[in-house]
Copies of this chain bind each other. A is one copy, B any other.
Amino acid sequence: MSSDAAPVSRFVRRLLSRSALDVNEQQALLRLSGQVAQMRPNQEFVTAGETVDHSCLVADGLAARHDQVGDGARRYTAFYVPGDMCDLDSMACPTTVSGLLALTATTILRVPHVELRRLVDGYPGIALAFSRDKAAEASIRAEWTRNLTRKPARARMAHLICEMGVRMELAALGARHSFRLDVAQQHLAEALGITSVHVSRTLQSLRSTGLLRTKSQRIFIEDWSGLASLGRFDSSYLLVDGPDRAFSQNKLRQRVVRRL
Protein backbone atom coordinates (compact mmCIF):
# COMPACT_ATOMS: atom_id res chain seq x y z
CA MET A 1 0.00 0.00 0.00
CA SER A 2 1.79 3.07 -1.19
CA SER A 3 0.44 6.57 -1.09
CA ASP A 4 0.71 9.64 -3.22
CA ALA A 5 -0.20 13.12 -2.05
CA ALA A 6 -0.50 14.91 -5.40
CA PRO A 7 -3.62 13.17 -6.77
CA VAL A 8 -5.32 13.42 -3.39
CA SER A 9 -4.67 17.13 -3.24
CA ARG A 10 -6.27 17.48 -6.64
CA PHE A 11 -9.27 15.60 -5.27
CA VAL A 12 -9.44 17.96 -2.29
CA ARG A 13 -9.23 20.97 -4.54
CA ARG A 14 -12.16 19.66 -6.50
CA LEU A 15 -14.20 19.07 -3.34
CA LEU A 16 -13.44 22.65 -2.32
CA SER A 17 -14.98 23.93 -5.52
CA ARG A 18 -18.34 22.67 -4.27
CA SER A 19 -18.04 22.63 -0.48
CA ALA A 20 -16.23 24.35 2.35
CA LEU A 21 -13.82 22.20 4.32
CA ASP A 22 -11.94 23.36 7.38
CA VAL A 23 -8.25 22.81 7.88
CA ASN A 24 -8.70 19.65 9.93
CA GLU A 25 -10.95 18.14 7.30
CA GLN A 26 -8.56 18.99 4.50
CA GLN A 27 -5.64 17.51 6.35
CA ALA A 28 -7.59 14.36 7.13
CA LEU A 29 -8.39 14.00 3.44
CA LEU A 30 -4.79 14.56 2.46
CA ARG A 31 -3.76 11.64 4.66
CA LEU A 32 -5.83 9.31 2.49
CA SER A 33 -3.73 6.61 0.96
CA GLY A 34 -4.28 3.82 -1.47
CA GLN A 35 -2.77 1.49 -3.96
CA VAL A 36 -1.44 3.16 -7.09
CA ALA A 37 -2.08 1.40 -10.38
CA GLN A 38 -1.00 2.31 -13.89
CA MET A 39 -3.47 1.54 -16.69
CA ARG A 40 -2.91 1.22 -20.39
CA PRO A 41 -5.41 2.67 -22.87
CA ASN A 42 -8.62 0.63 -22.95
CA GLN A 43 -7.63 -1.28 -19.83
CA GLU A 44 -10.47 -1.98 -17.46
CA PHE A 45 -9.84 -1.45 -13.77
CA VAL A 46 -13.29 -2.26 -12.41
CA THR A 47 -15.46 -4.91 -14.02
CA ALA A 48 -19.24 -4.83 -13.99
CA GLY A 49 -20.62 -7.22 -11.40
CA GLU A 50 -17.51 -7.14 -9.27
CA THR A 51 -17.75 -6.41 -5.54
CA VAL A 52 -15.20 -3.80 -4.53
CA ASP A 53 -13.83 -2.60 -1.20
CA HIS A 54 -12.36 0.63 -2.53
CA SER A 55 -13.14 3.62 -4.70
CA CYS A 56 -10.90 4.73 -7.54
CA LEU A 57 -9.40 8.19 -7.68
CA VAL A 58 -8.16 9.23 -11.09
CA ALA A 59 -4.69 10.67 -10.57
CA ASP A 60 -3.72 11.20 -14.17
CA GLY A 61 -5.14 10.47 -17.60
CA LEU A 62 -8.79 9.94 -18.38
CA ALA A 63 -11.25 7.23 -17.40
CA ALA A 64 -14.81 6.29 -18.32
CA ARG A 65 -17.73 4.35 -16.95
CA HIS A 66 -18.78 1.89 -19.57
CA ASP A 67 -21.17 -0.89 -20.29
CA GLN A 68 -20.48 -3.74 -22.53
CA VAL A 69 -23.50 -4.52 -24.62
CA GLY A 70 -24.23 -7.79 -26.27
CA ASP A 71 -22.57 -7.32 -29.62
CA GLY A 72 -19.22 -6.15 -28.30
CA ALA A 73 -20.06 -2.48 -28.73
CA ARG A 74 -19.32 -0.22 -25.80
CA ARG A 75 -21.16 2.79 -24.50
CA TYR A 76 -19.87 5.30 -22.02
CA THR A 77 -22.07 6.92 -19.43
CA ALA A 78 -19.48 9.12 -17.73
CA PHE A 79 -15.98 10.48 -18.17
CA TYR A 80 -13.65 11.03 -15.23
CA VAL A 81 -10.83 13.56 -15.20
CA PRO A 82 -7.92 13.68 -12.74
CA GLY A 83 -9.18 14.53 -9.28
CA ASP A 84 -12.47 12.67 -9.79
CA MET A 85 -13.34 9.86 -7.39
CA CYS A 86 -14.95 7.46 -9.80
CA ASP A 87 -17.32 5.50 -7.68
CA LEU A 88 -18.10 6.95 -4.28
CA ASP A 89 -21.44 5.22 -4.70
CA SER A 90 -19.70 1.89 -4.26
CA MET A 91 -19.37 2.70 -0.55
CA ALA A 92 -23.12 2.15 -0.27
CA CYS A 93 -23.44 -0.35 -3.11
CA PRO A 94 -20.17 -2.28 -3.39
CA THR A 95 -21.38 -4.53 -6.18
CA THR A 96 -20.90 -2.56 -9.36
CA VAL A 97 -23.27 -2.60 -12.29
CA SER A 98 -20.96 -0.91 -14.75
CA GLY A 99 -17.27 -1.15 -15.41
CA LEU A 100 -14.57 1.49 -15.33
CA LEU A 101 -11.78 1.71 -17.83
CA ALA A 102 -8.90 3.94 -18.85
CA LEU A 103 -9.33 5.81 -22.13
CA THR A 104 -5.69 6.77 -22.29
CA ALA A 105 -2.65 5.94 -20.16
CA THR A 106 -4.09 6.55 -16.72
CA THR A 107 -2.94 6.38 -13.14
CA ILE A 108 -5.50 5.51 -10.51
CA LEU A 109 -5.36 5.35 -6.75
CA ARG A 110 -7.48 2.69 -5.12
CA VAL A 111 -8.69 4.17 -1.84
CA PRO A 112 -10.16 1.62 0.61
CA HIS A 113 -13.76 2.14 1.68
CA VAL A 114 -12.75 1.76 5.32
CA GLU A 115 -10.63 4.88 5.04
CA LEU A 116 -13.38 6.83 3.35
CA ARG A 117 -15.90 5.58 5.86
CA ARG A 118 -13.68 6.72 8.71
CA LEU A 119 -13.57 10.24 7.26
CA VAL A 120 -17.30 10.37 6.64
CA ASP A 121 -18.03 9.22 10.18
CA GLY A 122 -15.49 11.55 11.79
CA TYR A 123 -15.96 14.76 9.82
CA PRO A 124 -19.46 16.04 8.99
CA GLY A 125 -18.00 18.50 6.48
CA ILE A 126 -16.44 15.65 4.56
CA ALA A 127 -19.69 13.73 4.60
CA LEU A 128 -21.46 16.73 3.11
CA ALA A 129 -18.72 17.28 0.55
CA PHE A 130 -19.01 13.65 -0.55
CA SER A 131 -22.78 14.00 -0.80
CA ARG A 132 -22.37 17.07 -2.96
CA ASP A 133 -19.86 15.27 -5.12
CA LYS A 134 -22.28 12.40 -5.65
CA ALA A 135 -25.09 14.83 -6.39
CA ALA A 136 -22.88 16.56 -8.93
CA GLU A 137 -22.10 13.30 -10.63
CA ALA A 138 -25.80 12.46 -10.76
CA SER A 139 -26.46 15.87 -12.25
CA ILE A 140 -23.81 15.34 -14.89
CA ARG A 141 -25.37 12.00 -15.79
CA ALA A 142 -28.73 13.68 -16.20
CA GLU A 143 -27.10 16.23 -18.46
CA TRP A 144 -25.61 13.46 -20.56
CA THR A 145 -29.04 11.95 -20.94
CA ARG A 146 -30.33 15.33 -22.04
CA ASN A 147 -27.44 15.81 -24.42
CA LEU A 148 -28.21 12.58 -26.22
CA THR A 149 -31.83 13.49 -26.72
CA ARG A 150 -33.00 15.06 -29.96
CA LYS A 151 -29.83 16.89 -30.76
CA PRO A 152 -27.84 16.58 -33.95
CA ALA A 153 -24.30 15.29 -33.74
CA ARG A 154 -22.69 18.71 -34.01
CA ALA A 155 -24.59 20.00 -30.99
CA ARG A 156 -23.83 16.88 -28.95
CA MET A 157 -20.17 17.13 -29.72
CA ALA A 158 -20.14 20.84 -28.92
CA HIS A 159 -21.71 20.15 -25.54
CA LEU A 160 -19.30 17.38 -24.62
CA ILE A 161 -16.28 19.46 -25.59
CA CYS A 162 -17.50 22.42 -23.55
CA GLU A 163 -18.07 20.17 -20.55
CA MET A 164 -14.64 18.63 -20.78
CA GLY A 165 -13.09 22.04 -21.15
CA VAL A 166 -14.68 23.33 -17.98
CA ARG A 167 -13.85 20.19 -16.06
CA MET A 168 -10.26 20.21 -17.23
CA GLU A 169 -9.95 23.82 -16.21
CA LEU A 170 -11.41 23.03 -12.78
CA ALA A 171 -8.87 20.24 -12.46
CA ALA A 172 -6.13 22.78 -13.26
CA LEU A 173 -5.24 20.83 -16.40
CA GLY A 174 -5.52 23.61 -18.90
CA ALA A 175 -7.94 26.35 -19.85
CA ARG A 176 -11.48 25.65 -21.00
CA HIS A 177 -10.57 26.82 -24.47
CA SER A 178 -7.31 24.92 -24.67
CA PHE A 179 -6.85 21.52 -23.13
CA ARG A 180 -5.62 18.05 -23.81
CA LEU A 181 -8.26 15.46 -24.71
CA ASP A 182 -6.33 12.33 -25.36
CA VAL A 183 -9.07 10.05 -26.60
CA ALA A 184 -9.69 8.24 -29.85
CA GLN A 185 -12.61 9.32 -32.00
CA GLN A 186 -14.02 5.92 -31.26
CA HIS A 187 -14.26 6.91 -27.59
CA LEU A 188 -16.10 10.10 -28.43
CA ALA A 189 -18.43 8.07 -30.61
CA GLU A 190 -19.24 5.74 -27.74
CA ALA A 191 -19.96 8.68 -25.44
CA LEU A 192 -22.07 10.60 -27.96
CA GLY A 193 -24.06 7.74 -29.36
CA ILE A 194 -22.84 8.14 -32.91
CA THR A 195 -20.41 6.16 -35.04
CA SER A 196 -16.75 7.00 -35.20
CA VAL A 197 -17.13 7.77 -38.88
CA HIS A 198 -19.67 10.38 -37.99
CA VAL A 199 -17.43 11.75 -35.25
CA SER A 200 -14.84 12.38 -37.89
CA ARG A 201 -17.28 14.23 -40.12
CA THR A 202 -18.72 16.16 -37.19
CA LEU A 203 -15.33 17.35 -36.00
CA GLN A 204 -14.49 18.40 -39.52
CA SER A 205 -17.66 20.41 -39.63
CA LEU A 206 -16.86 22.11 -36.30
CA ARG A 207 -13.39 22.90 -37.55
CA SER A 208 -14.56 24.22 -40.89
CA THR A 209 -17.03 26.58 -39.23
CA GLY A 210 -14.22 28.03 -37.17
CA LEU A 211 -15.50 26.88 -33.80
CA LEU A 212 -12.43 24.88 -32.83
CA ARG A 213 -9.07 23.53 -33.91
CA THR A 214 -7.40 20.27 -32.97
CA LYS A 215 -3.73 19.60 -32.86
CA SER A 216 -2.45 16.16 -31.95
CA GLN A 217 -4.53 15.42 -28.86
CA ARG A 218 -5.26 19.01 -27.94
CA ILE A 219 -8.47 20.95 -28.40
CA PHE A 220 -8.38 24.69 -29.08
CA ILE A 221 -11.79 26.27 -28.88
CA GLU A 222 -11.69 29.33 -31.06
CA ASP A 223 -15.24 30.51 -30.47
CA TRP A 224 -16.36 29.50 -27.00
CA SER A 225 -19.70 31.28 -27.06
CA GLY A 226 -20.48 29.91 -30.49
CA LEU A 227 -19.68 26.37 -29.41
CA ALA A 228 -21.59 26.73 -26.14
CA SER A 229 -24.67 28.08 -27.84
CA LEU A 230 -24.53 25.38 -30.52
CA GLY A 231 -24.42 22.72 -27.80
CA ARG A 232 -26.79 24.63 -25.51
CA PHE A 233 -24.13 24.31 -22.88
CA ASP A 234 -24.82 25.95 -19.52
CA SER A 235 -22.34 24.96 -16.85
CA SER A 236 -24.77 25.23 -13.95
CA TYR A 237 -25.37 21.46 -13.97
CA LEU A 238 -21.75 20.95 -12.97
CA LEU A 239 -22.69 22.45 -9.58
CA VAL A 240 -19.61 24.58 -9.22
CA ASP A 241 -19.59 28.16 -8.00
CA GLY A 242 -23.29 27.87 -7.50
CA PRO A 243 -25.23 29.38 -4.64
CA ASP A 244 -24.97 26.19 -2.59
CA ARG A 245 -21.27 26.45 -2.27
CA ALA A 246 -20.28 27.62 1.17
CA PHE A 247 -17.49 29.91 0.16
CA SER A 248 -16.65 31.56 3.43
CA GLN A 249 -12.88 31.78 3.72
CA ASN A 250 -12.46 29.21 1.02
CA LYS A 251 -9.75 31.18 -0.65
CA LEU A 252 -7.80 31.06 2.56
CA ARG A 253 -8.46 27.43 3.17
CA GLN A 254 -7.34 26.33 -0.23
CA ARG A 255 -3.84 27.24 0.76
CA VAL A 256 -3.70 24.11 2.82
CA VAL A 257 -3.92 22.15 -0.38
CA ARG A 258 -1.62 24.30 -2.42
CA ARG A 259 1.10 24.06 0.14
CA LEU A 260 1.55 20.35 -0.49
Task: Closest B residue to A133 by CB, please name it.
Answer: B92
In the assembled complex, the Cα of A78 lies from the Cα of B190 at a distance in Å of: 22
The residues of B that contact A146 with a CB separation of less than 8 Å are 67, 69, 75, 77
Task: Closest B residue to A92 by CB, please name it.
Answer: B131
Q: Which of A31-39, A135-143, A170-178 contacts B (4 or more CB under 8 A)?
A: A135-143
Q: Is A236 an interface residue (CB 8 A)?
A: yes
Contact indicator B95/A244 (Cβ below 8 Å): yes
In the assembled complex, the Cα of A135 lies from the Cα of B92 at a distance in Å of: 7
Minimum distance in angstroms from A90 CB to a CB of chain B: 8
The residues of B that contact A65 with a CB separation of less than 8 Å are 142
Minimum distance in angstroms from A52 CB to a CB of chain B: 11
Contact indicator B93/A148 (Cβ below 8 Å): no
Contacts A139-B97, A150-B75 given: A131-B91 contact, CB under 8 Å?
yes
Q: Is A113 an interface residue (CB 8 A)?
A: no
Main secondary structure of the interface of A (DSSP, over half): mixed
In the assembled complex, the Cα of A128 lies from the Cα of B94 at a distance in Å of: 12
Contact indicator A137/B138 (Cβ below 8 Å): yes
Task: Closest B residue to A138 by CB, please name it.
Answer: B138
The residues of B that contact A136 with a CB separation of less than 8 Å are 93
Task: Closest B residue to A238 by CB, please name it.
Answer: B97
Minimum distance in angstroms from A41 CB to a CB of chain B: 21
The residues of B that contact A190 with a CB separation of less than 8 Å are 149
Q: Is A145 an interface residue (CB 8 A)?
A: yes
Of residues 139 to 183 in A, which have CB atoms within 8 Å of B's CB atoms?
139, 141-142, 144-146, 148-150
The residues of B that contact A91 with a CB separation of less than 8 Å are 131
Minimum distance in angstroms from A134 CB to a CB of chain B: 6
Minimum distance in angstroms from A122 CB to a CB of chain B: 14
Contacts A193-B150, A243-B51 given: A128-B92 contact, CB under 8 Å?
yes
Question: What are the 5 tightest A-B residue pairs by CB atom distance, in nearest-first order?
Answer: A92-B131, A149-B193, A89-B135, A77-B142, A141-B141
